[in-house]
Chain A
Amino acid sequence: MGLSLDDVSRGLALEGADAAAFAALFTVRRSLAKSEFLSEEGDQPLHLSVLLDGFAQAVRLLPEGRQQSLALFLPGDLLDLSAFVLGRSSVAICALSQAVVGQARKSAVEALIAERPRAGRALWQAMARQSLATEEWLVGLGRRTAFERLAHLICELMHRERAAGLASQANCIFPLTQRELADMLGLSGVHVNRILQQLRSEGLIRLAQGRLTICDEARLNAAGGFQPDYLAAPPAFARKFDETLLLRPGHPQPA
């Protein structure tokens, strides 16, 4: 199970020699147990990390045991990119299931970006995509009802698992406990429970043995106001960037 580093390069729209050079940077492999922390708030990361298997989240711990989850990571996602760029983590990264992480030394990544601008573009683009996902969560936390929030999260999870090759049709892995859902949606666990049961009784989802089935995807999408555009890779930007590079002699081309 899990993604190869070539898959990761492909997911970042890197090709040929760029893809190979990027994949070759990830020389460290770390396994995490469920609930294990990869890094904590305030850490100064020396690596760029990518999730290869399992699920993880970015979480901010608050006083009195409260916490807010800020991002959900699936295989292929780069973890805590802003900390990599800015040098300090503002969140903790925590495994939601057993997970495998690949790591590349920061200095090696920086050298590669200098040498191969497309690698820099890929990271830039990945960061923009993550910030779109954050915006979508922000809209949910600020303005969606509890029912809409949970419906939206389920739709997003299904969509992303399909893209990562983890879902079969309308059936996907559901790695989240009620507590974790509550921390993602900014709700109490009791409220999350009630809405899960409501989604079930209305025939929208089925949950069994850690897997979730969406029974009526069109209706669930509508209920959550889910539009997957924010999850799609914007190829236009990558193409434009690469075309500009092609016009400039002296830059290494993909093989």
Chain B
Amino acid sequence: MRRFYFDLVTPNQRDRDELGILLPSLDEAYLEARRAAVEISRELLLNPCRGDLNSYRFELFDQDRRLVLELPFREILNPKEAARVRPMSGVMQSLRRNMARSRELKADLAAEFQEARRSVSQALTLLSRDGPVADAAIAAPISRARED
């Protein structure tokens, strides 16, 4: 689980998210932002001082406060029009999303390798305490995987 921050940006202000939410992945964060945009739009529609909802957007930040995703409310409110008016931005956004996702996957993989290495080295320590065992045979698959 990692923390994501969801700032709501309107023409007049930025509602900075100070609390953040723990979510399993950027994909989940994206879905969460969509759900929230729908809910918030629905409530704001009843509020006469809301301004133009089409100019609202969510900016998602990761735990280091790096921008990882933008979600304009326009994409939710008029999905077809949004695709027509800003085709490039849609592509850019999906690229950005993909890059952030790859970054995340890489970090996850690295963490998993580290964990696996730790368990193996623990196992080796334990085994060597009990007597000679073919430790090379155990270490081999991991070192191979690391080279991939």
Cα(A194)–Cα(B37), bound, Å: 12
* A interface majority secondary structure: helix
Instruction: Establish whether residues B17 and A193, one from each chain, have CB atoms under 8 Å apart when the complex forms.
Output: yes
Chain A residues closer than 8 Å to B21, beta-carbon distance = 178-179, 189-190, 193
Interface residues on A, range: 10 to 19
Q: Given A145-B43, A146-B39, decide whether A194 and B17 contact each other with a Cβ distance below 8 A.
A: yes
Tell yes or no: A191 within 8 A of B by CB. Answer: yes
Tell yes or no: A187 within 8 A of B by CB. Answer: yes
Tell yes or no: B33 within 8 A of A by CB. Answer: yes
Interface residues on B, range: 10 to 19
**Shortest Cβ gap from B49 to chain A (Å):** 15
Chain A residues closer than 8 Å to B18, beta-carbon distance = 197
A190-229 Cβ-contact flags toward B at 8 Å (1 or 0): 1101101100000000000000000000000000000000
**Shortest Cβ gap from B46 to chain A (Å):** 8
What is the chain A residue whose CB lies nearest that of B60?
A190
Chain A residues closer than 8 Å to B40, beta-carbon distance = 191, 194
Tell yes or no: A4 within 8 A of B by CB. Answer: no
**Shortest Cβ gap from A2 to chain B (Å):** 29
Instruction: Establish whether residues A194 and B32, one from each chain, have CB atoms under 8 Å apart when the complex forms.
Output: no
13 more A-B residue pairs beyond the given contacts A190-B58, A191-B36, A194-B8, with a C-beta to C-beta distance below 8 A: A178-B19, A179-B21, A187-B39, A188-B35, A190-B6, A190-B21, A193-B6, A193-B19, A193-B20, A194-B17, A196-B19, A197-B17, A197-B18
Q: Would you mind naming 20 contact pairs between A and B with Cβ atoms under 8 Å apart?
A: A145-B43, A146-B39, A146-B43, A188-B39, A189-B21, A189-B36, A190-B21, A190-B35, A190-B58, A191-B36, A191-B40, A193-B6, A193-B17, A193-B21, A194-B6, A194-B8, A194-B15, A194-B17, A196-B19, A197-B15
Which residues of A are in contact with B by a Cβ distance under 8 Å? Answer: 145-146, 178-179, 187-191, 193-194, 196-197
